[in-house]
Amino acid sequence: MALGAARSPRPVDLFTKLSRTSLLLDALQRECLEPHGLVFAEYSVLRILQAEPQRRLSPSRLAERIVRTTGAVTKLVDRLEAAGLARRRRDATDGRAVHVQLTAAGNRLANAASRSYTAGRERILARLGEAEIEATMAGLDRLIEVLERDVSDAARRPG
């Protein structure tokens, strides 16, 4: 290869770039959410609950939405409940079922954290053109489709 010549990207380079992107995104999320005492998974649960019409969801649905095990969600909800941001409630129609419900304090904190995270995201997005955003979104949409299919297939694989 001639000095200064660009080499063709190797398929493995995609995962290297995605890993670097993930680390940088994590740093942005910490910058925006730590002042509110939240990590991104906690923030995600609060925002998901905010978007629900009754501001509640089963732990198993939360696990699906944030791509975590039910055990991890149990620990996460324990922390949110201890902080007064969410509470567990028995389902009125099925006494065996439990839902995680957003509290008023959780709603206020989610709104404040959302304002901080929105400002951080807008700072980054302001540095990209509309075409760059659209191209990145299209590529990520396809990659997410493939990854979700792989997760679904893995659940059906024996062993």
The string of pLDDT tens digits covering residues 104-139 is 999 999 999 999 999 999 999 999 999 999 999 999
pTM for this entry: 0.84
- Same domain (yes/no): 35, 102: yes
pLDDT at 155: 79
- Same domain (yes/no): 81, 151: no
CA angle 83, 86, 92 (to 5 degrees): 145
- Same domain (yes/no): 32, 60: yes
pLDDT at 84: 97
Domain interval for residue 153: 129-159
Query: Of 3, 1, 17, whose CA–CA distance to 140 is shortest?
Result: 17
- Same domain (yes/no): 123, 68: yes
Residue 43, C-beta contacts closer than 8 angstroms, at least 6 positions apart:
29, 33, 36, 110, 113, 117
Distance CA 58, CA 75 (A): 14
Q: Coil, strand or helix: which one is 101?
A: strand
Domain count, the chain: 2
- Same domain (yes/no): 75, 99: yes
CA distances from 80 to 9, 102, 157 (A): 43, 9, 34
- Whether 15 has a pLDDT exceeding 80, the answer reads yes
- Same domain (yes/no): 90, 123: yes
* In a domain? residue 12: no
pLDDT band (50, 70, 90) for residue 2: low
- Same domain (yes/no): 106, 147: no
